Structure 1
Amino acid sequence: MNGATPPPRPTPLHWRTLLPVALALVGVLLALATRYGYHRDELYFRLLGRHLAAGYVDQPVGTPALARLTTGLFGDNLVALRLPAALAAAGTALLAAALAAEFGAGRRGQLLAAIGTATGVFPLVDGHVLVTSAIDAPIWLGTILCSVRALLRDPRWWLAAGAVAGVGLLNKQLIVLLAIGLAAGLAAVGPRRTLRDRYLWLGVALAAVLGAPSIVYQVTHGFPQLAMASALSSHGGTENRIEFVPFQLVLLGPLLVPIWWAGLRALARRPAWRPVRCLVVAYPVAGLIALVGGGRADYVIGLVVAFFAIGCAVLDAPPTVPAGHWRRWLRLAAVAVAVDAVVAALISLPVLPVRWAGRTPIPALNPAMRDAVGWPAYVRQVEAVYRSVPDPAATALLTGNYGEAGAIDRYGTGLPAVHSGQNELWEQGPPPDSGTAAVVVGIAPEQLPGVFGHCEVRDRLDNGVGVDNEEQGRPILYCTGRTAPWPTLWPRLRHLD
């Protein structure tokens, strides 16, 4: 710009090549949707979906609303619940191809970007289960794509970027990280005049309007997301900080690191791409904020996918490389994507029978796999304990976390309404005050000081397949002699994590 090297010319999207990739991805994800079982977060979203609100203490309304929408339309089953995640994964792959096209990638580069994104480690994990990060992925990449178009071609694309980011605020506030990173990048490396562009600020205003339910909820409820972030940082922040930098290498897969690094490097060096160099700064800025806050490594995966897509454009159209070398690099990249896809599928998807998977390192590598195992078995144990108590009608049912509560709600028969002190479930209130006994799931007796006069362990949760997850081995208690009315005791049981 300013008489310097002109920006790259976008290439047409090769839809006939790309759509089969997206459709195949959706098909595979839905075909495997019923393997293993619900993820704990999905059980929670299913519960929250029946109590839709402007927001919740731990998240906006977006993902619970999607859970309610798809299960209401297609039935209360895993395929229906996971349909939005599968579609989001396919959308992310297509957006990666579109971003590669913005930087001049032809059919091969676009195909490489789509397949590499579709089969990356974390994209497959998120595409398999309905979690907030599954929906966040296309939000981040869509915002980045619109921002690139605004910087390279037409500033009116800031309106589209704002619209996408505003919708993202209804799902997860992490999109603010990207906004801060882009603003820091524009201030540091330019083009600084963009910060005075009216379309940029109109886009910001549009994001605020579309995200207003989430913003208003936070303001009127004392910014509970800050308390939630602090709680998450204190619980798992140290581990997340240790893992943050090395895990950047496995977000898509170790074999794909050279490709996305090539994209980042080209952004930093090519004169024609100077207008979008702010992305190079956005990555460490957003990453540093996430790191200091104890956030997970995948919080910035949207930028990594963007660099990968740009790297695919670099491989597809190298400016000064002889044709023979160029084709060799492209073939090596294709092999890397293929090998990465196989490894990622084994780690990220329920390919192996659950009993086999339990004997492998996969549960340790993929926490989402652990959290999708054993729920029906756990609920059967709870039912057995509940049926054995002297007066079931006067016995409350408590759980230590939302996964246990959601599983009991989904699979339980002949059980009372379940209550939990975790996150938004605490806000739904305590059990009825009739009776002084309770079956308590997943909470050790020493965690209930002064709540009951006596607690005894009646059983311990066992998924029966040897997968060591958060529930495995936790007690099922029968507690009697409640010491005070539930409204008095309920504040003691609240926890954010």
Structure 2
Amino acid sequence: MGETRDLPPFAARAVGVVVAVQAVVLTALSGRYGFHRDELYFLAAGDRPDWGYVDQPPITPLLARLSTAVFGDTPTGLRVVATLLGAATVVVVALVARELGGGRDAQVFAAVATALSAYAVVVSHMLTTNSVDMLLWALVGLFALRLFRTGDGRWWLAVGAAVGVGMANKWLILVLVLAIGVSLLVLGPRSVLRTWWLAAGVGVALVVAAPVLVWQAAHDFPLLTVASGISQDDGAESRILFVPMQLVYVSPVLVPVWVAGIVRLFRDPDARALALAYPVLCVVLLVLGGKPYYSIPLLVLMTAAGAEPTSRWLARGGRGRRVGAGVAAVVGALVSTVVGLPLLPAAALGPVVAMNAEQGEQVGWHEFATTVADVWDRIPAADRDRAVIFAGNFGEAGAIERFHAELGVPVPYSGHMSYADWGPPADSMSGPVVLVGVDPGRDFTGCERVTEIDIGYDWDNDEVGTDVWLCDGPARPWSRLWPDLRRYY
């Protein structure tokens, strides 16, 4: 530890070409389908800026608002920021390869592998909290490696700043901190822990995240309630799929590369803590019932670590080895882009949706909102000033809100996630209710199932088959009914 060897030059021009091609492809395809359900929710949340929301801190909704304000309220306009985040991640990952001694070939390899990995393709195409997290985890990895290599405690300030920003986006970054911390205690270099700069870095993180922490504390930490509910609902499935999906989410073709990266890191006394952090992270996520993709940003860093030994392996091989590797790379890139990007006509998405359901969640929202508007039109004009549209989840509510002005319907209400905080309707809104994706039960009276959602394709997404009801009204005043309608997951 404490080595200050000179690093190879940064291959700025070659990495820049990779980033430019990535940005052009993402931008060309960003508007091909439509908004994703999460993006519709981010737009709604961004229109109601706050220091926090039930299920997320504020950064991603604020980025959604900024991107659409600057570039237009369209899928393409919204996704400019996702493209920029993806491009920045590619640059940082190339810098990680350089930090580990990789020259031009290794840096370019790391950049291309990241840009074409399935996970990066998906989160660089559409705006999600993971779009931001992928960049921040890469920055934490880069700063940590620089800290371990140089022993310069001032890098704790950079680590703390990245973690603080991460906490303002998604608290999952704390699991990364835990994994790296445990690994440092086990494998070292422990000397980087014996400095007041560590306390300073923790202070920076807390200062940056303070407004978010205060908001969560004032609202009884709803993020933890949401996380607990997700674990209870999906934990068993996540644990079963966790290991197999580690082989898929980056790309099956890149598995040998990130395995080589883990081996390479373990052989380096200054970097082996980062190698151990990956299995530690996986164990923690398995215990908590976290989703398999939660660990993938760290796996991307393992791939960067494998870039240099893989480049050397290819250089030592003959023509047959390089041709075989090239064929594998082309196949992997085709699979990642077809599964992760809107390349196919929407009508042909059936097989893709079976592998990546997020593709299907970008199709059919205008048709969804139009169906709801048709049911709304059945309400007599004299009753509409007391009528309400109530949606079962934030995607449904976000779609109706996004298209409500165009379709001549009011902004909807929902009890799901932060939409519950933006309600309830006034008790005077005691007239008819259009219910979307909600069982009327005893909460609404005089209900008739009018139709169900059909987006016109022979494959299904989460909303196809959703019932739309028209009810005479709520069974109780909205203020009394609202606590029973609230859902955290």
TM tier relative to shorter chain = over 0.9
**Residue 441 of structure 2 is aligned to residue 449 of structure 1:** yes
**Is 1:35 the counterpart of 2:32 in the alignment?**
yes
Decide whether the 8 Å contact of 1:165 with 1:175 is kept in 2: yes
Q: Does 1:55 align with 2:49?
A: no
User: Residues of 2 paired with 1:147 and 1:29: CA distance?
Assistant: 30
Provide the rounded CA distance (Å) in 2 between the counterparts of 1:439 and 1:417.
12
Q: Does 1:486 align with 2:478?
A: yes
The residue number in structure 2 matching 1:286 is 281
Matches of 1:92 and 1:340 in 2, distance apart?
20
Residues 406-445 of structure 1: pairs in structure 2 closer than 5 A:
406-412=398-404, 413-433=407-427, 434-444=429-439
Cα shift readout 1:122-159 (whole Å, capped 9, x = no counterpart): 11011111010011101000110011001102332221
TM-score by length of 1: 0.93
**1:384 and 1:402 mapped to 2: Cα distance?**
20
User: Which of residues 14, 19, 30 is equivalent to 2:11?
Assistant: 14
Q: Which moved more, 1:203-212 or 1:345-354?
A: 203-212
Structure 2 unmatched runs, 5+: none
Q: Which amino acid aligns with 1:449?
A: G
- 1:92 corresponds in structure 2 to 89
In structure 1, the partner of 2:203 is 205
Separation of aligned partners in 1, 2:258 and 2:462: 34
Q: Deviations over 1:296-352 (max 9, x none)?
A: 11111121111100100122357xx9x633887666555433321111001110000
Q: Deviations for 1:256-288, whole angstroms, at most 9, x for unmatched residues?
A: 0000000101211x2xx2122111221122222
- Aligned pair 1:122/2:119, yes or no? yes
Q: Distance in 2 between matches of 1:228 and 1:257?
A: 32
Q: Which amino acid letter does the alignment assign opposite residue 387 of structure 2? A: T
Instruction: Report the equivalent of 1:367.
Output: 357
The separation in 1 between residues aligned to 2:347 and 2:384, in whole angstroms, is: 34
Question: What is the aligned-residue RMSD (CA, Å)?
Answer: 1.8
Look up the SS of the partner of 2:377 in the other structure: helix
> In structure 1, what is the equivalent of residue 465 of structure 2?
473
Amino acid at match of 1:211: A
In 1, the alpha carbon distance for the partners of 2:356 and 2:5 equals 39
CA distance in 1, matches of 2:164, 2:200: 12
Report the alpha carbon displacement of residue 235 of structure 1 after superposing the two structures with TM. 2.1
- How far residue 7 of structure 1 moved from its aligned partner, in angstroms, is 7.3
SS of structure 2 residue aligned to 1:52: coil
The aligned residue for residue 381 of structure 1 is 371
Alignment match, 2:394: 402
C-alpha distance after superposition, 1:402-423 (max 9, x if no partner): 1111111111221122100001
Query: Please, what TM-score do these two structures have when normalized by structure 2?
Result: 0.95
| 1:485 maps to amino acid | P
Deviation at 1:389, TM superposition (A): 2.0
Code of the residue aligned with 2:37 in structure 1: it is R
Out of 300, 303, 306, the position equivalent to 1:308 is: 303
SS in 1 for 2:7: coil
The answer for the alignment partner of 1:72 in structure 2 is: 69
Q: Which amino acid in the other structure matches residue 30 of structure 1?
A: T
Task: Look up the SS of the partner of 2:35 in the other structure.
Answer: coil
Give the residue type in structure 2 aligned to 1:161: V
Classify the secondary structure of the residue corresponding to 1:27.
Answer: helix
Quote the offset at 1:84 in angstroms.
1.1
**For residue 236 of structure 1, what is the aligned residue in structure 2?**
234
Match of 1:224 among 222, 226, 229: 222
Q: Distance in 1 between matches of 2:114 and 2:324?
A: 17
Alignment of 1:317-336 (within 5 A): 317=312, 324-325=316-317, 332-336=324-328
SS in 2 for 1:417: coil
CA distance in 2, matches of 1:369, 1:59: 22
Equivalenced residues, count = 483
CA deviation map 1:148-191 (0-9, x unaligned): 00110233222112111211111111111110001000111111
Of the three residues 227, 245, 248, the one matched with 2:246 is 248
Aligned match of 1:101 in 80, 91, 98? 98
Equivalent pair of 1:105/1:317 in contact (CA under 8 Å): no
* Secondary structure in 2 matching 1:211: helix
Whether 1:350 aligns to 2:348 is no
Q: Kindly tell me: are residues 315 and 327 of structure 1, through their superposed partners in 2, closer, same or farther at Cα, counting changes over 3 Å? A: farther
Answer yes or no: is the 8 Å Cα contact 2:147–2:192 preserved in 1.
Answer: no
Q: Deviations over 1:380-425 (max 9, x none)?
A: 1111110012333322110001111111111122112210000100
Is the 1:121–1:252 contact (alpha carbons within 8 Å) kept by the matching residues of 2? yes
Deviation at 1:38, TM superposition (A): 0.5
Could you list the runs of 5+ residues in structure 1 that have no partner in the other structure? none
Once residues 328 and 275 of structure 1 are traced to their aligned partners in structure 2, the CA distance between those partners, rounded to angstroms, is 35
More displaced 10-residue stretch of structure 1: 12-21 or 478-487: 478-487
- The counterpart of 1:296, out of the listed 291, 295, 314, is 291
- Whole-angstrom CA distance in 2 between matches of 1:330 and 1:186: 37
2:488 pairs with 1:496? yes
Percent identity among equivalent residues?
40
